Structure 1
């Protein structure tokens, strides 16, 4: 009887040891970039480290909601990519972990500033300006002028021809909302959005979906980050990207380690690895044309350059603040979302 108990105990111990050994080689990742880039990053990291990555692709707003809901029992180790505002909000609420990567010295100033302003609870991994992409063939067919400015999107001829994402789920759309508030002032921005709503055919869940739809000819214009429009052009679609004449905001795609991460050391390995120049230089292989945060990374020739775009001094701290974010999203729900087409 005693030997049976001993064998069972040893077997249980061996099983627990095997599980913990296996767990040391795991990483639970949420990726908020385009799925093609997410898969590429996952596969590269697994090949280089032999760490198994359990990846879920979610938009920035969805990820923030998930991380917040699971705060007492985190199921995610690291959150890579997606707009910086929800990363900043998670940082301000103590949902992410302070970490100063040894790679910080290699990063552009805007990426380091993102880290500093969050108390090193997030860091910039890429950047990209907001704008839109339009389908040249559709506009020509409908005899419509290509829109160069935010004001042009209110043209009655564009009724049903524009898509943008829902700012509750999409970091891209939240950046658009915050950008318009900063350019016009809040009340005038919401007056503009009500008029724009008449031309919106759909508020999508994903930030890049509107320009993919335009590429397929389902609508003429998608309000997106310009690099998402450029990626459609690179795939051979008749899409032209635009930086609005009045000025526009931009994103700092960010990365955060989740507080309470079960695989913390592997999360730090991903964090440092994802900031390396050679890793960021491969993003173009997935037709992702953001500006990399590492100063030594190759900037794709297709990438929209900040110096060619009229950028506003986007206030990441204010619009990443939980109260401000909640306030303007609730107003969008009341005044725009409730009457959306």
Structure 2
């Protein structure tokens, strides 16, 4: 009997070796399958940011995490009507879009809640109360003042009412019916002041306005060229031109200002929660700041712990305390009111 013991030991060893080898083979196959999955795994994101920014964001995210996102550029009109497609044409897992677009998608139940330690750092006025979307970046309306006027009277310009104190002041002002951002300023101003007071103010300011501009950059060029003393423009445009050496000061109104908000949301079509979480949280990182500044986009960050962008006086931004509950139709109605009762002075 003892003579069979070595043979049995050999058999047991061979079986064990085969089993171990098979186990290693299974692990190897699983690793290969996981690698193949990771190679194919990606997140589809629809974004209203410029094409080059979207491309650079995807590259920076992959460099930082090794994970892939496919960021597809979409217009506001395409994003507004996203809910109608029901995701039939390559549904996005994440949206990067303006606040009105995000509100529209929430109303049509396209979004689902998402919250993390990063979204918690965003103040409540800049995120949805049900955590359906969260603000990323703000583009506030600011004063830009020509260097020569700033040297003479610039320190007297602190609030919106101060624009009415100098009878010789020339103002470059946006056409409030031309763009969604200008319309957002109008809606916010009326929400803060009330319709009657806002109308009286805008009528009084009109005597100082040399020309209304449909494009914000035109106001910067008018001020920089000496055609106007002060301009009302969005902060991103103002910062870009100042970085390029234009002779302007940027001043934040001390009684607050409106802001155009861009945010992010997870959609009902998301099938990879882990990847969506990684991307959503990464959007609040320094990597994104580097991408935006590299593309000459100088936006203000919504999260309270982000780097503060100060004005030329070293002052922080003050925002209007608004709820922004207006609809697209409501904004257009208010823009029609401004055209008829303020700009052309007809009706009420």
Provide TM-score, normalisation by structure 2.
Answer: 0.64
Paired residues, number? 298
Task: Give the Å deviation of 1:168.
Answer: 5.7
Q: In the alignment, what sits opposite 1:30?
A: 47
Q: In the alignment, what sits opposite 2:213?
A: 203
CA distance in 1 between partners of 2:51 and 2:163 (Å)? 29
8 Å CA contact 1:126–1:253 kept in 2: the answer is: yes
Q: In the alignment, what sits opposite 1:94?
A: 108
Q: In the alignment, what sits opposite 2:251?
A: 242
Gaps of 5+ in 2: 1-38
Task: Give the Å deviation of 1:254.
Answer: 1.8
Residues 247 and 290 (structure 1), Cα distance of their counterparts in 2 relative to 1, 3 Å cut: same
Residues 178 and 211 (structure 1), Cα distance of their counterparts in 2 relative to 1, 3 Å cut: same
Task: Give the Å deviation of 1:106.
Answer: 2.4
Matches within 5 A, 1:178-193: 178-193=187-202
Residue 134, structure 1, aligned to residue 140, structure 2 = no
Residues 184 and 28 (structure 1), Cα distance of their counterparts in 2 relative to 1, 3 Å cut: same
Residues 25 and 219 (structure 1), Cα distance of their counterparts in 2 relative to 1, 3 Å cut: farther
Q: In the alignment, what sits opposite 1:222?
A: 231
CA distance in 1 between partners of 2:314 and 2:268 (Å)? 33
Instruction: Return the match for 1:106 from 118, 125, 132.
Output: 118
Task: Give the Å deviation of 1:125.
Answer: 0.8
Residue 325, structure 1, aligned to residue 336, structure 2 = no
Gaps of 5+ in 1: 1-21
CA distance in 2 between partners of 1:201 and 1:23 (Å)? 54
CA distance in 1 between partners of 2:220 and 2:273 (Å)? 36
Matches within 5 A, 1:147-296: 147-154=157-164, 157-159=168-170, 161-164=171-174, 166=176, 169-171=179-181, 173-197=182-206, 199=209, 201-205=211-215, 208-210=216-218, 212-214=220-222, 217=225, 219-220=227-228, 221-257=230-266, 270-280=279-289, 283-294=292-303
8 Å CA contact 1:99–1:120 kept in 2: the answer is: yes
Task: Give the Å deviation of 1:242.
Answer: 1.6
Root mean square deviation of aligned Cα: 4.4
Provide TM-score, normalisation by structure 1.
Answer: 0.65
Deviates more, 1:241-250 or 1:282-291: 282-291
Matches within 5 A, 1:68-83: 68-73=80-85, 77=92, 78-80=94-96, 82=98
Task: Give the Å deviation of 1:255.
Answer: 2.1
CA distance in 1 between partners of 2:313 and 2:140 (Å)? 8
Residues 89 and 332 (structure 1), Cα distance of their counterparts in 2 relative to 1, 3 Å cut: farther
CA distance in 2 between partners of 1:339 and 1:261 (Å)? 50
Residue 122, structure 1, aligned to residue 133, structure 2 = yes
Secondary structure of the structure 2 residue equivalent to 1:124: strand
Secondary structure of the structure 1 residue equivalent to 2:83: coil
